[in-house]
Amino acid sequence: MVEFDDSFRQHLRELLVWRRDVRRFRTDPLPAGLIDRLIETACLSPSVGLSQPWRFVIVDDVARRRAVIDDFTACNAEALNCYSGERAARYAALKLSGLEQAPGHLAVFADKASDVGHGLGRATMPETTEYSVVAAITAMWLAARAEGIGIGWVSILNPDRIHAILDVPHGWKFIAYLCIGYPEVECDQPELEQAKWEHRRGAEEFTLRR
Ligand SMILES: Cc1cc2c(cc1C)N(C[C@H](O)[C@H](O)[C@H](O)COP(=O)(O)O)c1[nH]c(=O)[nH]c(=O)c1N2
């Protein structure tokens, strides 16, 4: 039996407040075994039918990393074209990945072909496979922050291209590409808020009672 006291709860809240999406990394190497530890933690996450559909690809190969960075550059240029005027100028000024500097690159997939869990919970909502993988990424994000390490989620990528670059099995769906490393700075405010792209809203705006 484990009990969590007020001090733990306060620390947990601080962890949530100080977790950030990080795009500015120091280039210092990661502590030995960090990514394996984060993956182990992620595997404790809830998953539909206990299917554990998460699949992780640690990307160390320089040529594959370069291909991912090139894909980001192309996708980001396309994204910029969707904006005009003042919004385009603001978008162009944002830093939206730390792919070049981050010492760790981790791609995360959902195995849509796996029968583990025997379909429980997925018949009417097959997308719960992807939801389970996102739950695992969140756990990893927090566990990393607890070790002073930042994670940045990059989605400005072409999923088919990432699939080909990493040469993963057919039934795997691309969910996330994560940059991992020591953050240049620590902050309790999202960078997109600091850049005045968007502001964080409070819980009352998202809650209905029926
Ligand atoms: C599914 C998904 C996908 C992305 C993100 C997040 C999530 C959940 N975020 C990070 C996002 O911008 C960030 O979480 C919010 O701005 C809030 O900031 P904090 O995470 O609180 O620092 C993100 N950020 C970025 O710079 N480039 C990106 O491609 C993405 N993609």
Reference 143, options 55, 37, 28; nearest CA is 37
2 CA distance to ligand 1 middle (Å): 33
Question: What pLDDT is attached to residue 36?
Answer: 98
Domain 21-182 coded CATH 3.40.109.10: yes
Give this complex's ipTM: 0.99
Pocket test for ligand 1, best of 16, 18, 21 (most atoms within 8 A of CB): 21
Question: In DSSP terms, which residues pair with 111 in a beta bridge?
Answer: 172
C-alpha–C-alpha distance, residues 88 and 76, integer Å: 12
Nearest CA owner, ligand 1 atom 6: 153
pLDDT in tens, 122-135: 999 999 999 999 99
- CA-nearest of 95, 117, 114, 91 to 170 is 114
> Three-class SS string for the chain?
CCCCCHHHHHHHHHHHHHCCECCCECCCCCCCCHHHHHHHHHCCCCCHHHCCCEEEEECCCHHHHHHHHHHHHHHHHHHHHCCCHHHHHHHHHCCCCCCCCCCEEEEEEEECCCCCCCCCCCCCCCCHHHHHHHHHHHHHHHHHHHCCCEEEEECCCCHHHHHHHHCCCCCEEEEEEEEEECECCCCCCCHHHHCCCCCCCCHHHHCCCC
pLDDT for residue 71: 98
pLDDT digits (tens, 9 = 90+) for 47-82: 999 999 999 999 999 999 999 999 999 999 999 999
Under a CB-based contact definition with an 8 Å cutoff, are residues 152 and 97 in contact? Answer: yes
What is the predicted pLDDT for the residue at 25?
98
Low-confidence ranges of the chain (pLDDT < 70): none
Expressed in angstroms and rounded, the spacing between residue 141 Cα and the centre of ligand 1 is 12
CA angle 203, 205, 208 (to 5 degrees): 90
Neighbours of 123 (CB within 10 A): 8
Task: List ligand 1's pocket residues with C-beta within 6 A.
Answer: 20-21, 23, 96-97, 153-156, 190, 192
